[in-house]
Amino acid sequence: MNPEGHGVDWLIAAILLLAAIIPGVVYIAYCFTLKKRRVDPTCPVCNGTDFSPKQTQDVLEDEGEGGDTGTPEEDTTPFSERSRYHTVLAAFGIGFGTIILVGLWTGIFGGIYYGITGDVPAQVEMMLSNVSLIAGTGSIMWLYFRYSDKTPNFLDIKIPSTKAVGIGALGTVVLLIAATGLEQVFRLFDITAAEHQIYELATAESGGISPEFLLLMIPIAILVIGPTEELIYRGVIQKSLYSKFSKSHAVVLTSLIFALVHFPAYLTSTAANATITVTTVFMLSLVLGKIYAHTENIVIPSLSHGLYNAVLFGLLYIEVAGMA
């Protein structure tokens, strides 16, 4: 990538990443405040539950004799409506916070490697980025369970049935067909989409990655990339949105977050081209979201996501190895 040629794009990416810190910090501060208030069982947001006025009244009545059982004063702005903003804020905070943490871990690991060897080749950088993806996902999951009332049982990690595995495999086919179809539509209107940074490295004349390294990325896509991203965006963000939105709306909101956080990875040309590509990412994320909403098992969209990326790495290997 040439920073001098696309200074505006780099500036936009930097602003987006810096702005993403704000919702994450606000969310953690908000949850820290809630932890202090959980001693009050009538608190409308205690333990992650938003009680309606009637539910709050039921809690008061269950406190026993002597409790104030009067009808609570009507709230002209129901908390259930106000808390939607908190839910969306939390979702954006988790999504962008994950990317920030992955970036921080990449910097740490890369800095250590550079300090030892004096150089960080492209292939090493890609391996470190995948290790950082695991570390960043683990960090955001720890923060999520630390500052919310949720436990790891919140995650829908189940042994899939044969039918569910079939749905995952079919999902991969749908993703590939959808991606190919969108690419053809873009070509029809003479729209140029941006290429992912990995494609740029794989096709670079020098200083890039070898074709053989792409073969290594195939199992990494299935075992690391698919599961970690789906764990965050479907297992945590999408499911957490269910409390305030319908499943369909949760899928759309999650896909919007998923697409936005991938924007910097496609800044290999102009911001306009990256936006076109991110639109494709959004559409593909809708498919993954629907798969999760239907199966309620995070393993299935992880399988679809991982296999989809694996196929792309395989096709890229065929292209750069001169086999096509």
Domain boundaries, the chain: 7-37+77-320
Q: Which residue has the higher pLDDT, 289 or 12?
A: 289
Q: Find all residues with CB under 8 Å of 169, minimum gap 6, and list them.
A: 303, 304, 307
Rounded to whole angstroms, how far apart are CA atoms 164 and 302?
A: 12
Residue 10 pLDDT > 60, yes or no? Answer: no
* CA 46/CA 133 separation, integer angstroms: 32
Give the pLDDT band (50/70/90) at residue 284: very high
DSSP letter for 72, please: P
Q: Are 278 and 9 spatial neighbours (Cβ–Cβ below 8 Å)? A: no
Return the pLDDT at 18: 52
3-state secondary structure of 190: coil
Please check the confidence at residue 68 and state whether its pLDDT lies above 90. no
CA atoms within 13 A on the CB side of 204: 17
Q: Which residues have CB under 8 Å from 112's CB, separation 6+? A: none
Locate tokens 């200083």: which residue? 207
> Of 16-25, 106-115, 225-234, where does mean pLDDT reach its minimum?
16-25
Q: For the whole model, what pTM was predicted?
A: 0.75
Question: Token pair for residue 65?
Answer: 């004799």
Check residue 240 and give its pLDDT: 93
Residue 83 pLDDT level (bands cut at 50, 70, 90)? confident
